[in-house]
Structure 1
Amino acid sequence: MAEAEGARKPARERILDTAAELFYREGIRAVGIDTIIARSGVAKMSLYRNFASKDDLVCAYLERNMAQHAAWWDRVTARHPGDPCAQMKALFTALGHWIDHPKFQGCPFTSAAAELRDPANPVRVLALGHKRMVRDRLHALAVAAGADDPDRLCAQLQLLMEGAYAAGRALDLGPGNEAVASAAAALIDGACGGACGRKIG
């Protein structure tokens, strides 16, 4: 049944699904176009009709991840309307659960930036752009929460986030990686003081 459903998908979607799974699990450099063609069951001509190059395919993979990440962020923060402190804490609780998932293999954007070091590479540009977007969204929450130094809190939380991505594959951080959530809560409470718990809007 799953194979039949896969066969009904457009070629572009089948290629992207296959590439996304392989890139995330095995790394971008380790996966060649021929492997993606073989696993997705499409012709080489079909792949190049949809993606002009491997970089083009990797960018599409990251762009889809960006959309998924934005949807995840919005879904988590929507549970705490008007409460930016609770929204920040919820993001790190959810992050802890994600890195506890058996399929977790780190952050695809961090991995892409680490693999592709050329500053002009469009994949690296996209990956770093996503990191700036995360920083901007964290900063907006820190400002809304009344942090005494939003820049500092934002930098600390993004560093914690990156550390969690790296440590999640190597360390046992407890059930649901509770250490991630509790570390974030300590930073947020320390920076926002009495502002936490007060809703805005």
Structure 2
Amino acid sequence: MQRPAAQLVGLFDALLDALDRHGFFGCPFVSAAVEAPLDSEARAITVRHTERRHAWLTELATEAGAGDRVALAPQIGLLIDGALTSGRLLQDRAVVDEAKGGARSLVAQHAAWP
């Protein structure tokens, strides 16, 4: 199993694998939520999904020894969202590679990187 710092960066490899298998469709949660009213169940489910992902990223950041896990987790989350959105729009896997590079820099800045 990878160390937590490596997992924070490696999750972009998992994203690439999924995109290679299924194509660039973006996040199904966000896709459903952006078309629904703000008070809809679709939006509520998407918010809960995002909160669970944030908790998981915060846990990984903590385990990685991040000095500021409160900052690192949402930054990684934004890189994930940006990669999914830009990948969907541009249909270019290079955006995920760019997001992974950003994650690597953030982790090196905040955590005990291998």
TM tier relative to shorter chain: 0.7 to 0.9
Q: CA contact under 8 A between 1:97 and 1:177: conserved in structure 2?
A: no
Q: CA contact under 8 A between 2:24 and 2:84: conserved in structure 1?
A: no
Equivalence for 2:13? 93
Q: Superposition RMSD on alpha carbons, in Å?
A: 1.9
TM-score normalised by length of structure 1:
0.51
Alpha-carbon distance in structure 1 between the residues aligned to 2:21 and 2:87 = 9
Q: 1:179 aligns with which of 86, 91, 98?
A: 98
Query: Unaligned regions of 5+ residues in structure 2, if any?
Result: none
What SS does the aligned partner of 2:89 have? coil
Q: How far did residue 100 of structure 1 move?
A: 4.5
Q: Percent identity?
A: 35
Higher normalized contact order (CA 8 Å, seq sep 6+, divided by chain length): 2
Q: CA contact under 8 A between 2:12 and 2:96: conserved in structure 1?
A: no
Residue identity matched to 2:52:
M
What SS does the aligned partner of 1:118 have? coil
Equivalence for 2:74? 155
**Structure 1 pair 133/111, CA: closer, same or farther in 2 (3 Å)?**
same
Q: 1:189 aligns with which of 105, 108, 113?
A: 108
Per-residue deviation, residues 17-43 of structure 1 (Å, max 9, x unmatched)? xxxxxxxxxxxxxxxxxxxxxxxxxxx
Q: Does 1:125 align with 2:44?
A: yes
Per-residue deviation, residues 174-195 of structure 1 (Å, max 9, x unmatched)? 3x84222222111111111xx2
Alpha-carbon distance in structure 1 between the residues aligned to 2:22 and 2:42 = 26
Alpha-carbon distance in structure 1 between the residues aligned to 2:89 and 2:98 = 14
